[in-house]
Amino acid sequence: MTHNTMLHTLVTLADWIRWGASAFGRAHLCFAHGTDNALDEARWLALASLDLPLDLPDIYLGARLLAEEREKVQRIFEQRIHDHIPAAYLLGETMIAGLRFKTDARTLIPRSPLVGMLSFPTLPWDVNIEDISSIADIGTGSGAIAIACGYGFPNAKIDATDISAEALVVARENVYAHGMETQIHFYQGDLLAPLPHIRYDLIVSNPPYVRSESIEQLPAECRYEPRLALDGGSDGLATIHRLLHQSARFLTPEGHLLLEVGEAEVALKDAYPSLPFHWLDFEGGATGVCVLAAKELRLLERNEGEGA
Ligand SMILES: C[S@@+](CC[C@H](N)C(=O)[O-])C[C@H]1O[C@@H](n2cnc3c(N)ncnc32)[C@H](O)[C@@H]1O
């Protein structure tokens, strides 16, 4: 039986999802951008490509597909299998923490644990959510973290920066889609430099932190993402050093920096032995997210050499 004759034996939505999951597994795809397994990935791609809701009741999985629908599903599955293009780029959108974001190759596919944490915030320091009135998101990419803050901190004005003008085009579209254009403002430029001259109660950032030499070893899917969003220099800390040294000047006296450093956690602790990082635990097991208070960051002004 040829490949296409075999595919003609796939009749229902369930048949296609089951076949896709097997083929994805054989192709050793990476599931790190929206799902974490082959079956969920096949279900997501099949439903979204047919404009069906992702929570489609199971009874409809027995529905037979029209010839043109089968072609659509086959085409998108084959792109995923042969080219390893992330599902979020094939579909032009992703869901995280129940929020939908437009995504394309101009921005990193949002997957930070900060999105879920900040959309329903319980902060690991003593503060009332209502008292947080200003937030800065540095390296906003698709705008996902800034938008999560918009939901979690309805009283806050949110400023977000990115060095990539292309990423900010996508971020603005997402902010419009979430109706937050009066709450969130974007500024293009290097880290905190383009922000207006105010102090923030919270600075949040998921900067690039992959070691340059590790980028080529990332799964093929990640290599569709902008290198600028991933490359953290020789030890992963190039952007993080500058962020740590600059943040205190932009924080209120009681303000905090909430920082995702992922796999650069160990290198960061080694580089700043005197900084009292508070590392957070997440239900899903994510690691590499820490908090520093403004007064702790000010220690760096006294230890000029640290991390340099
Ligand atoms: C890891 S991505 C995070 C994107 C988004 N915040 C998220 O969590 O999905 C890092 C982002 O920082 C941006 N970036 C890299 N260097 C920067 C710099 N020097 N100043 C501002 N943004 C920068 C990249 O363009 C990218 O959008």
Q: Indicate which atom in ligand 1 lies nearest the CA of residue 139.
A: 12
Q: Is the pLDDT of residue 2 over 80?
A: no
Q: How far apart are CA 289 and CA 231, in angstroms?
A: 18
For ligand 1, the distance from its centroid to the CA atom of residue 137, given in whole angstroms, is 9
Cα-Cα-Cα-Cα dihedral sign, residues 50, 52, 55, 58: negative
How much distance in Å is there from the Cα of 108 to the middle of ligand 1? 8
Q: How confident is the model over 63-85, as pLDDT tens digits? A: 999 999 999 999 999 999 999 99
| CA quadruple 27, 33, 34, 35: dihedral sign | positive
Integer Cα distance of 232 and 239 in angstroms? 6
Query: What's residue 1's pLDDT?
Result: 56
For residue 34 and ligand 1, the question of a CB distance below 6 A is answered with: no
**Whole-Å CA distances, 169 to 20, 73, 184, 224, 276:** 33, 29, 14, 18, 37
pLDDT mean across residues, the chain? 94
- Residue 175's pLDDT band, with cuts at 50, 70 and 90, is very high
- Does the beta carbon of 205 sit less than 6 angstroms from any atom of ligand 1? no
162 lines ligand 1 (CB under 6 A): yes
Lowest-confidence pick of 13-27, 123-137, 203-217: 123-137
CA distance 145 to 159: 11
- Nearest CA, atom 12, ligand 1: 139
Question: What pLDDT is recorded for position 34?
Answer: 86
Gap between the Cα atoms of 207 and 161, Å rounded: 11
CA distance 304 to 308: 8
Report how far Cα 107 is from the mean position of its chain's Cα atoms: 9
Q: For ligand 1, what atom is nearest to the CA of residue 242?
A: 19
For residue 145, the CA-to-ligand 1 centroid distance in Å is: 11
pLDDT at 33 (0 to 100): 84
The hierarchical CATH code for the domain 98-302 is: 3.40.50.150
Residues in the chain: 308
Under 8 Å between Cβ of 24 and 42:
yes
| Per-residue model confidence as pLDDT tens digits over 98-118 | 999 999 999 999 999 999 999
Q: What is the pLDDT of residue 119?
A: 95
Ligand 1 centroid–CA 226 distance in Å is 10
Closest to 33 measured CA to CA, from 119, 141, 165 = 141
Kindly give the number of the ligand 1 atom that is closest to the alpha carbon of 115: 8
Cite the beta strand spans of 84-181 per DSSP E.
Answer: 93-96, 99-102, 134-138, 157-162
- Sheet with 251-260, strands from edge to edge, namely 184-188, 157-162, 134-138, 200-205, 251-260, 289-293, 278-279
Rounded average pLDDT over 41-56: 96
* Cα separation values, 177 from 96, 144, 162, 171, Å: 15, 12, 19, 10
The pLDDT of 169-196, averaged and rounded, is 98
Compute the average pLDDT of residues 265-288: 93
Q: Which atom of ligand 1 is nearest to the CA of 209?
A: 1
Cα(170)–Cα(102) distance, integer angstroms: 7
Whether ligand 1 lies within 6 angstroms of the CB of 167 is answered as yes
- Which of 190, 205, 231, 239 to probe ligand 1 with, by most ligand atoms within 8 A of CB? 239
Does 291 score more than 60 pLDDT?
yes
CA gap 252, 21 in Å, rounded: 50
pLDDT given for residue 138 in this prediction = 98
CATH 3.40.50.150 domain range(s) in the chain? 98-302
Percent helix / strand / coil, the chain, rounded to 5: 45, 15, 40
For residue 164, the ligand 1 atom closest to its alpha carbon is: 25
Mean pLDDT of 153-158: 96
Tell which one of 100, 205, 206 to mutate to probe ligand 1, the residue whose CB is within 8 A of the most ligand atoms.
206
Answer yes or no: is the C-beta of 113 below 6 A from any ligand 1 atom.
no
Instruction: Tell me how crowded residue 77 is: count the other CB atoms within 10 A of its CB.
Output: 25
Cα(162) to ligand 1 centroid in Å equals 6
For residue 99, the cross-strand partners are: 96
Where b means 16+ CB within 10 Å and e means fewer, 158-174 reads bbbbbbbeebbebbeeb
Choose between 124 and 278: higher pLDDT: 278
